[in-house]
Amino acid sequence: MTDAPINHSTFTLERHYPVPPATVFSAWADPGVKARWFAGQGAEHELDFRLGGRERVTGRHDGKLLTFEAHYQDIRPGERIVCSATLSADDTLATVSITSVEFVPDGAGTRLVLTEQGTYLDGHEQPAWRQQGITSQLDALAVELSDGAAV
């Protein structure tokens, strides 16, 4: 038995974007577009967006090297994305997660539904921090889509 705490959490975030699902999906699939809204300023971003492909983001926060690495388990263009991911701070694994992103037609726009199931290890990350970070990314996606750059 270990004294290392594990925290499990699931959350769902929904957003409405006034563009078609194909446009929102494209903003997740195009490496240049996704780097702008997802990775953050000063971060390095790699995206191999295909079934079995990998995404990697590295950057510094509070002096630590953060590494996010995702593997794409399911991709249905314009409909959904499912990936498994890890987040490490320096060489310490902080989080293991499974994320699904659904792109639902909603009038002339898209209702995006993101659900994340996370396992947070040893207090290195908290569910509220992750939810806040993803909320910021979805807000940045809204700006990206309103600028027309993702189209």
Residue 149: predicted pLDDT: 53
Q: Which residues of the chain have pLDDT under 70?
A: 1-2, 148-151
CB 55 within 8 A of CB 49: yes
Number of domains forming the structure of the chain:
1
Q: Would residue 1 count as lying in a domain?
A: no
DSSP code of residue 36: I
pTM (2 decimals)? 0.92
Single-letter amino acid, residue 26: S
pLDDT digits (tens, 9 = 90+) for 94-126: 999 999 999 999 999 999 999 999 999 998 889
Where in the sequence is the domain holding 39, given as residue range(s)?
A: 6-147
CATH number at 129 reads: 3.30.530.20
Rounded Cα gap, residues 115 and 126, in angstroms:
16
Instruction: Give the alpha-carbon dihedral of 130, 104, 24, 70, to 10 degrees.
Output: 40
Rounded Cα gap, residues 63 and 38, in angstroms:
20
